Chain A
Amino acid sequence: MKLGVLFSGGKDSTLALHKAVVKEEVACLITLISKNPESYMFHTPNISITKLQAKALNLPLVAKNTEGKQDGELMDLKKAIAQAKRKFEIEGVVSGAVESVYQAERIQKICYDLDLWCFNPLWKRDQLELLKEIVESGFNVIISGVFAYPLDEKWLGKEINRKVIGDLMSLAKDYGISPSGEGGEIETTVLDAPLFRKRLEVLSFSIESKGNSGVFSITRARLAEK
């Protein structure tokens, strides 16, 4: 079955891609580039890097801009998926939804309308297990956004490794945040993963932060040998 993967360049959609390629043929990646940093549906930090990630993965990318307003962004997502269906003859869509019924429901409805299969291979996975799987599978993932107390600028750009997982778990215990950022507390960017033919090398970045909210923006990056 030919599939299109909804791809934000973060850890969940990249892991969902890795699950999908084992079972089916992934024909393309689909990305919504949202102008709204508070989008309900789409991961925003470093979304422009998806083009480079797609190149590293050697997969075509269907990218569509969206204003990121609630109904409009769903229409734009539907148009992007319809475009992927026309261009790459996909029969289904894969998402990295883990816990969000809001997100899963909307993707399911779009797929139903477009007569496509819909798969969520990370659905209901334990968050700690997911983080461990990412590290143990050899992903290089950095924290590219923080949006909740007590997270702050210090976390931006950190690579997710065993120690960081431990620290996030402590915060989860003490402050009730989701350790994998399922509640939007953290956004991530994948710089390398087993399916990447080349890794992303960050040449320059900028950090914008205020209190418990901040973004690590990659301003220049290139593909490098692994």
Chain B
Amino acid sequence: MILVVDMNWRKDSLGYYEFVLPIVSIVEKVEKSFVRHFSEVNRKNIERSSQIVLSGTALKDHATLQCVEEFGWIRECEKPILGICAGMQTLGLVFGASLKKSLEIGMAEINTTKENPLFSSTYRAYELHNCAIEASAKFEVLAESEKCVQAIKLKTKEIYGVLFHPEVRNKEILQRFTSLKT
């Protein structure tokens, strides 16, 4: 059972349809899922899940970046996690990385810089972000665009972040993530 964490600024927001539902419809093709807003994630939800996906948000939505303390559970979590866009930025902040201004809207070319189970080579992906991560030493960089770091992995765990939105043009990345085990 995959836990999809709704990272939008509030529960049942208008952003749910755009940033959460597309993820659900992709992962549900492989495995059942359930959604919780980030303010509702608890030990029981995490124990019930096999993998966890943190959704993206609207470009102007920085709610999760302003309450990183709510994501302390990620440090102890042993389940595979994939953070998308705001989800990646939040993961970065949880593990001590910093953010820098970087705007990308639309399709961009992504270059894989390190072999990993989610993607390979060069591909195009949909971007919607106005800040990017400056990876700390705890992360390895898996991919970059011309502008910034596009994918990271925590060195010690199956915790991944992608800045682009795989649910738009790279569904296979989400499907491969669903097969990762701890």
Contact = CB atoms under 8 A, between A and B. Distances in A.
User: Which label, helix, strand, loop or mixed, suits the secondary structure of the B interface?
Assistant: mixed
Contacts of A117: 58-61
User: Which label, helix, strand, loop or mixed, suits the secondary structure of the A interface?
Assistant: mixed
A218 B20 CA distance: 38
B181 to A, nearest CB: 27
B25 A119 contact: no
B22 A124 contact: yes
Contact of B168 (A101, A116, A118, A121): A101
Interface in B92-108: 103, 105-107
Interface residues of B, number: 23
B13 interface: yes
Given A112-B59, A118-B58, A123-B22, A23 B13 contact: yes
B129 to A, nearest CB: 11
B17 A122 contact: yes
Contact of A118 (B12, B59, B103, B126): B59
Interface in B6-41: 12-15, 17-18, 21-22, 25
Contacts of A19: 14, 17
B59 A108 contact: yes
Given A23-B12, A24-B14, A101-B106, A119 B58 contact: yes
Nearest to B167: A124
Contact of A101 (B18, B59, B126): B126
B147 interface: no
B112 interface: no
Contacts of A105: 105-107
B99 to A, nearest CB: 17
Interface string A102-134: 000100110110011111111111100000000
B18 A23 contact: no
A121 B130 contact: no
A94 B17 CA distance: 12
A49 interface: no
Nearest to A97: B18
For the complex of A and B, the 6 pairs showing the least CB-CB separation, nearest first, are A124-B22, A105-B106, A121-B17, A23-B14, A123-B18, A119-B14
Interface of B: 12-15, 17-18, 21-22, 25, 58-61, 103, 105-107, 126, 128, 130, 167-169
Interface of A: 19-20, 23-24, 92, 94, 101, 105, 108-109, 111-112, 115-126
